[in-house]
A = this chain, B = another copy of it.
Amino acid sequence: MSTKYNPSIHNDARPNVGVTVVPFTYDLSACDLKVLIYRRPIDAEVFPGKIALPNGVYDRRVVSTAEEAAENALMDKLKIKIPHLDQLHTFTGNDIDPQRMNTINIAYSSLLRESEVVSFNDSVSDLEWISVKKLLATSSDMYAFNHKEVLEKAYERICSQAEYTPLTTNLLPKKFTIPDFKKIIEVLTGWELNNSRFRSRIKQSGVLKEVKGKSNDGFSKPAQLYKANPNYDGYFYPKSLTGVK
């Protein structure tokens, strides 16, 4: 690292670098977490027809950060400009690419609101929002690259974060109800939450802010709308998010 930069000397040492994005959204009516995948073209030279997550090459002539490369990969698929991106993990090794290139794969997860992305479902035929639970039941050789491993890690992370951060509010509409918020945590953690506890914790912590308006599903009591408190920093009621029994 201390030698002067000389492209012709250094190029040969350099590994192939790519980015992968795991775009999540949450289907509020089905209470199900979904991920965006595409099918590799039938005539692709590697992994034809396999399931893949949005990805791209990190080309230093085109981008200057990996976040930029990840944004471009999402943009390619969804035409979304400023997605919420979290760096997940950097995978390295010879077994990511079938040609056994020594590859570096910088993976991101992205939490998206259903309303912002769902319209693209039908228009592009190789794209699909698919239930994460269903997809994870699929054998890893149905996936391109190491994408099952990436998805597993991203899913594990999001479920774990649902326990102690309000990050999942990024998957809900901007205005949502407490039952919505409660439900998504229950879905991701597998717990059943105590209702009155949950509500008092929200009040105490200030994690949500009440906004004007009520939900109305047309056949039960309307619920107060809230938004995520943008100034809230830190854990979401550290630990008291324990389940019923």
Contacts and interface: CB of A to CB of B under 8 A. Distances in A.
A113 to B, nearest CB: 26
A154 interface: no
Contacts of A5: 16, 97, 99, 101
Nearest to A18: B1
Contacts of A101: 5
A46 B15 contact: no
Contacts of A106: 90, 92, 104
A26 B15 CA distance: 35
Copies in the complex: 2
A56 B13 contact: no
Interface string A224-240: 00000000000000111
Interface in A16-34: 16-18
Interface residues of A, number: 49
A148 interface: no
A138 to B, nearest CB: 21
A102 interface: yes
B1 A60 contact: no
B99 A46 contact: no
A216 interface: no
Given A16-B10, A104-B104, A66 B46 contact: no
A115 interface: no
A59 B17 contact: no
A215 B203 CA distance: 47
A101 to B, nearest CB: 5
26 contacts: A1-B46, A1-B57, A2-B47, A4-B99, A5-B16, A10-B16, A11-B12, A13-B57, A13-B59, A13-B61, A13-B62, A14-B14, A14-B16, A14-B58, A17-B17, A58-B92, A64-B92, A65-B92, A65-B93, A66-B90, A67-B92, A90-B90, A104-B104, A104-B106, A238-B239, A239-B239
- 6 cross-chain pairs, A with B, having the tightest CB-CB distances, nearest first: A239-B239, A14-B14, A60-B102, A13-B59, A15-B60, A11-B11
